[in-house]
C-alpha cells in the first residue's frame, strides 16, 4: 500500500475513534436530544457526517475511476500529505459553518445514524483504496468554502470533519453536565 494511502487511512481511523469517544460520553438517552432549538443533537451530527461522507465517497470513487480510465499517473511522492492540509482550520470551531441543505440531518435516531456513518465510512475507505498508488493530487473537486481540493485533501477533510463534529458533540456533553 502506498504510504499516502496508509497515512490517510490511519487518520480516518484515528478521527473515527475520536468521534466515537465523544459520542460515547453522552448516555444513549441523551444522544437524540438537541442542546438548543437551533443546534444539532449528537445523533444529528453523526447523521450529517453520514450524509456528507456517503456523497463524497460516491464523488471520489467516480473521479478516481474516471482518472484511472484516462490513464492517471502513479504517485511518485512518498512525502506525508497531512502536513500540507490546514487541519487546524478545519477543526476550528470558533467559526460557525452552515451545512448545505442536502447535508442537514433529518432526525435519524442515534443508533441508526451511527450505522449509516459506519456504512459511509466503509465507502470512503473503499474509495481511497481504489486510488492506492495513483497521483490523487491531480484529481480535484470543489469545496464550497475552500475551493478546489485534491482527492488527497478530500480524504483528509473527511477525517478532520469527523474531528470537528466530535468537538461539537463534546460541547453538547458539556452542556448536559452543566445543566
Instruction: Give tens-digit pLDDT for 121-160.
Output: 999 999 999 999 999 999 999 998 889 999 999 999 999 9
Domain limits for position 49: 3-178
Cβ contact 132:5 at 8 Å:
yes
List the CATH number of the domain containing 127. Answer: 1.20.120.450
* Location of C-alpha cell 499516502: 4
* Location of C-alpha cell 474531528: 163
Tens digit of each residue's pLDDT (9 = 90 or more) over 73-132: 999 999 999 999 888 888 888 878 888 888 889 999 999 999 999 999 999 999 999 999
Distances (CA, A) of 76 to 2, 42, 154: 10, 41, 19
Q: For the chain, what is the domain count?
A: 1
Q: What is the pTM of this model?
A: 0.94
Other CB atoms within 10 Å distance of the CB of residue 47 = 25
Amino acid at each position: 500500500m502506498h504510504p499516502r494511502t496508509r497515512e490517510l487511512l490511519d487518520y480516518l481511523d484515528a478521527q473515527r475513534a475520536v468521534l466515537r469517544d465523544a459520542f460515547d460520553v453522552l448516555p444513549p438517552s441523551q444522544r437524540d436530544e438537541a442542546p438548543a432549538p437551533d443546534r444539532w443533537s449528537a445523533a444529528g451530527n453523526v447523521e450529517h457526517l453520514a450524509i456528507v461522507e456517503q456523497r463524497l465517497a460516491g464523488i471520489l470513487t467516480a473521479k478516481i475511476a474516471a482518472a484511472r480510465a484516462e490513464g492517471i499517473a502513479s504517485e511518485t511522492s512518498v512525502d506525508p500529505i497531512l502536513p500540507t492540509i490546514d487541519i487546524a482550520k478545519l477543526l476550528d470551531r470558533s467559526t460557525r459553518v452552515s451545512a448545505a441543505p442536502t447535508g442537514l440531518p433529518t432526525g435519524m435516531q442515534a443508533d441508526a445514524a451511527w450505522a449509516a456513518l459506519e456504512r459511509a465510512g466503509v465507502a470512503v475507505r473503499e474509495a481511497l483504496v481504489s486510488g492506492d498508488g495513483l497521483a490523487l493530487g491531480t484529481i480535484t473537486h470543489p469545496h464550497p468554502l475552500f475551493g478546489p481540493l485534491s482527492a488527497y485533501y478530500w480524504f483528509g477533510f473527511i477525517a478532520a470533519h469527523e474531528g470537528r463534529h466530535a468537538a461539537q458533540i463534546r460541547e453538547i456533553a458539556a452542556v448536559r453536565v452543566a445543566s
